[in-house]
Amino acid sequence: MQQFTQDFIMRWHIESWIGLSIRGTEGNWEWVDGTNITLSYWEVGEPNHYKQDEDCVEVGNNNWADVSCNDLNLWICEKKASPTAPIEAGLSQQGWHRFGHSFYFFSVRKQNWKGSRNDCLQRNADLVVINSRREKEFTSSIGKHWIGLSDRETEGEWKWVDGSGLTFRNWGKDEPDGGDKIEECAEQHGRELPKIWNDAFCNRPNFWICEKAAGMEPLEGDLYPDDP
């Protein structure tokens, strides 16, 4: 597993099976494709093979742990790249991640809402438009950040940067509250905070997420289809 793969799957902060287990000789950890470990991310004190019954591996708390293969767990599937592999590979190297119909870029610094949007536009993208529960879960993995939602044009009329209205809503309790009509941009909370939207002062520095179309429909069996 490469570092960017480890970082990507850890955005969900949930315990999940990965394709690593003991095969044959005790202590010989192999991936499901038969390859050996080249990079490892074991938690401190792992693998400990507790009671000689921990032959499978889960990822959680940013690292790996060996656990009983009979435990119930979530899991992560992986499949070979689609015919757009050269395009996706190039975007991946630039920090973009594919999810469903779009590519997403997660910022590592903070700017106000306008500066964040300008950064996205320079990347031939725009601030993220969230239209489903799955997309909300995916984009809330980095903590609080700007999304492409505001009522800057007309007070109380919230629109996405693509001009569309809200078909999916994720406002927190009593939000948007307007903040004396100076909170005109939307941020999404995540990680330790409830994964809800809040209207905020547009000049506040925040992380942000850019989104651009993937350029083709997901292949059959796509792991991340859109849903309400």
pLDDT string in tens for the chain (228-residue length):
655 565 665 555 567 898 999 876 667 889 888 888 888 888 888 888 877 788 999 987 678 899 999 999 888 887 765 544 444 455 555 678 888 888 899 998 899 999 999 999 999 999 999 998 888 888 887 778 999 999 988 888 999 999 998 889 989 888 888 766 788 999 998 765 677 899 999 999 999 999 998 864 444 334 444 444
pLDDT at 185: 95
- Look up residue 176 and give its two tokens: 């948007």
Amino acid 8: pLDDT: 60
Model pLDDT, residue 80? 66
CB neighbours (10 Å) of residue 128? 28
**Per-residue confidence (pLDDT) for residue 87, from 0 to 100:** 45
**Number of neighbouring beta carbons within 10 Å of residue 76:** 15
pLDDT single digits (tens) 132-152 = 888 888 888 777 899 999 998
Cβ within 8 Å of residue 151, ≥6 positions away = 157, 158, 159, 176, 184, 199
Which tens digits make up the pLDDT trace of 166-206?
889 989 888 888 766 788 999 998 765 677 899 999 999 99
* Domains of the chain, first to last: 3-75 (3.10.100.10), 85-213 (3.10.100.10)
pLDDT for the residue numbered 228? 40
- Residue of 168, 133, 123 whose CA lies nearest to 149: 168
